[in-house]
Amino acid sequence: MAEPAADPVGLYRTVSLIRGFEQRAVALVRTGVIRGGIHPCTGQEAVAAGTCAALRPDDVITSTHRGHGHVLAKGADPARMMAELAGRTTGLNRGRGGSMHAADFGVGILGADAIVGAAVPIATGAAWAFRRAGSDRVAVAYFGDGAVSQGVVLETFNLAALWRVPVVLVCENNGFATSMRPADTMAGSVVGRAAAFGIPASTVDGMDPQAVLDATAEAVARARSGGGPSLLECATYRFDAHHTWEHTARPRYRTDEEVAEGKARDPLEIQGARIPAATRAAIDAETGARLDEAVRFALAGPHPDPATALDHLYATGMRARAGAL
């Protein structure tokens, strides 16, 4: 079930959990246990922790290629999440999704999506269906700063505003789309784009979990009460590489000084300073133990049988012709 995260201690716990998860996941990539690599969200934890703290368990999210934080903050079990990254049948998606597609419908995670911007209409469609069904559930669509140059995202802004869909559009502006800075790729601004569609939009300090929570709570309240979509641009910073293979090519698109400056505003420290030191230490110990157990669980999980490679291809259970299998 979702973490009770909306208080200072809860927010810290979520940030700590995500940070520790990413550290362990990166280590497992380095040792080859996690194949294909990951896009770590280290540094961006405040966005996931703050937004999800404003949601109910029955609200839903769609996420991105950099989605571990969102998925954990929404309440996925870290052990099953780690097992998914390791490609085990005990994973959230039975080893069929991996890092970029982690989904847990039971806690409202419709899935991370590896195509930049593609999940924004999906969250919007789900939110519309909720309202149609007479419920007050809302959806959050996460996307990066790079995604706001995707046509489908801007088309979706129009639909969401036109039909007053209860969706919260969360742009995680971490300063980069791979190597490219928003200033070099984006005409105008994120908030300006929303404004063009009449969508209320604001920029919030995406390193501060509490600030993100406060802004999201307002947007969620608006959505629940029929006020339609809002956009939240969370100004954050990615501490790690775009992807874990970045260390092989070592592209240089930012200076060490800039990274150090970014890391000086660490959400772990910002939120950690708000709670008693002893509480903080206890939480770190607790999340650490939980994550060590998650790694053990992941590694103990069985690898899927190759003969099952096309299981779940069709919801109806239709079997594909064998082909190479």
Partner 1 sequence: MPNLSYLKALNRAIGDEMERDAAVCVLGEDVGVAVSYATAGLLRRFGRDRVLDTPISEQAFTGFATGAAMAGMRPLVEFQIPALLFLVFEQIANQAHKFSLMTGGQTRVPVTYLLPGSGSRDSWAGQHSDHPYSLFAHVGVKTVVPATATDAYGLLVTAIRDDDPVVVFAPSGALGLREVVDFADLAPVPLGVGRVHRAGADVTVVAVGHLVHDALAVAEDLAGSISVEVFDPRSLYPFDWQGLAASLERTGRLVVVDDSNRSCGIGAEILATAAEEMRLIAPPRRITRPDGAVLPFARELDLACQPTRAQLRAAVEKTVGAG
Site for ligand TPP, rule CB under 6 A: 65-66, 114-116, 144-147, 174, 176-178, 242
Q: Which amino acid is at 97?
A: G
Neighbouring C-beta atoms of residue 175, cutoff 10 Å:
17
Which option in ligand TPP, partner 1, none does residue 166 bind, with CB closer than 5 to 8 A by kind?
A: none
312 contacts partner 1 (rule: CB under 8 A): yes
Question: Closer to ligand TPP at the Cβ: 115 or 196?
Answer: 115
Question: Closer to partner 1 at the Cβ: 15 or 79?
Answer: 79
* Under 8 Å between Cβ of 109 and 52: no
Among 133, 249, 260, 278, indicate the residue that binds partner 1 (CB under 8 A): 133
Residue showing the smallest CB distance to ligand TPP in the complex: 144
Q: Which residues contact 82 (CB under 8 A, 6 or more apart)?
A: 21, 24, 25, 28, 291, 294, 295, 297, 298
DSSP string, 128-178: HHHHHTT----EEEEEEGGGGGSHHHHHHHHHHHHTT--EEEEEEE-S-BT
236 contacts partner 1 (rule: CB under 8 A): no
Residues in the chain: 325
Pick out residues in 161-190 that bind partner 1 (CB under 8 A).
162-163
Which option in partner 1, ligand TPP, none does residue 34 bind, with CB closer than 5 to 8 A by kind?
A: none
Which option in partner 1, ligand TPP, none does residue 176 bind, with CB closer than 5 to 8 A by kind?
A: ligand TPP
Q: Identify the DSSP state of 319.
A: P
* Under 8 Å between Cβ of 131 and 160: no
Which among 203, 269, 259, 267 is positioned nearest to 230, based on CA atoms?
A: 203
DSSP string, 70-82: HHHHTT--HHHHH
Q: Which residue has the tokens 């969508």?
A: 199
Question: Closer to partner 1 at the Cβ: 160 or 213?
Answer: 160
Which option in ligand TPP, partner 1, none does residue 96 bind, with CB closer than 5 to 8 A by kind?
A: partner 1
* Under 8 Å between Cβ of 112 and 324: no
324 contacts partner 1 (rule: CB under 8 A): no
108 contacts partner 1 (rule: CB under 8 A): no
65 contacts partner 1 (rule: CB under 8 A): no
Which option in partner 1, ligand TPP, none does residue 315 bind, with CB closer than 5 to 8 A by kind?
A: partner 1
Q: In the bound complex, what is the minimum distance in angstroms from residue 151's beta carbon to ligand TPP?
A: 10
Q: Burial letters for 99-113: b for 16+ Cβ neighbours within 10 Å, e otherwise?
A: bbbbbbeebbbbbbb
Question: Closer to partner 1 at the Cβ: 111 or 209?
Answer: 111
Which option in partner 1, ligand TPP, none does residue 152 bind, with CB closer than 5 to 8 A by kind?
A: partner 1
* Under 8 Å between Cβ of 202 and 42: no
313 contacts partner 1 (rule: CB under 8 A): yes
Q: In the bound complex, what is the minimum distance in angstroms from residue 235's beta carbon to ligand TPP?
A: 12
Among 31, 248, 255, 316, indicate the residue that binds partner 1 (CB under 8 A): 316
Residues that bind partner 1 (CB under 8 A): 60, 62, 91-97, 101, 103-105, 110-111, 113, 115, 118-130, 132-133, 139, 151-152, 155-156, 158-159, 162-163, 310-316, 318, 320-321
